[in-house]
Amino acid sequence: MRVALRVPAILDIEASGFGRGSYPIEVGVAMPDRSVVSFLIAPDDDWTHWSEEAENLHGLSRELLVEKGFSPRQVAEQLNLLLEGQVVYSDGWGVDSGWLALLFYYAGLRQAFQLETLTRILTEDQLRCWDDTRDALFAANDGRRHRAGFDAHILQDTYIETWEQAQAAARDT
């Protein structure tokens, strides 16, 4: 029996650092139609934590965010417009959900979509080949990582590729 692929929306967040005091600096979403949107976030006045280690990973300076980023409210409004009523998935739900909650708190808005962990929709067959497939897709793109839109796109590609691998394996059995 053939099962139709339903491409999920996948969200990724880059942050000012790791752990306490960190905040979102970029949000990217790979949409079900395969388009990708991303937003740089200008730090709120209360957001002072900054990690050089994190900056070395994502390559975004605080100065760039101040100059080119959108306010937390503008980003939250755009995310609600794009994703209202949808379930969106994250491979880093534990940290992304906290950063997203912080974004919406500072925006003074209610989040109009639901964020879930990506593992909730992966089959056991997908999970078995997930890491190798994701790593191969990143490697095929010169190992680039840690920009929210690009990472969300690669995660969505990984979902599709592992789904296709699982379907092929099921046909072969």
State the Cα–Cα distance between residues 54 and 95, nearest whole angstrom: 14
Q: What are phi and psi of 115, to 5 degrees?
A: -105, 125
pLDDT at 169 over 90: no
Question: What is the Cα–Cα distance from 40 to 25, expressed in whole angstroms?
Answer: 6
Q: What is the mean pLDDT of residues 91-100?
A: 96
What average pLDDT does the segment 96-109 reach?
97
Topology (CATH level 3) of domain 9-172: Nucleotidyltransferase; domain 5 (3.30.420)
Share of the chain above pLDDT 70, in %: 97
pLDDT value at 50 more than 90 = yes
Give the mean pLDDT of the chain. Answer: 94
Q: Is the pLDDT of residue 172 over 90?
A: no
**pLDDT score of 143:** 61
List pLDDT tens digits, range 103-130: 999 999 999 999 999 999 999 999 999 9
Torsion on CA atoms 150, 165, 124, 114, rounded to nearest 10:
40
User: The tokens of 78 are what?
Assistant: 């755009």
The answer, as to whether pTM is greater than 0.75, is yes
Average pLDDT over residues 93-110: 97
* Alpha-carbon gap, residue 155 to 169, rounded angstroms: 21
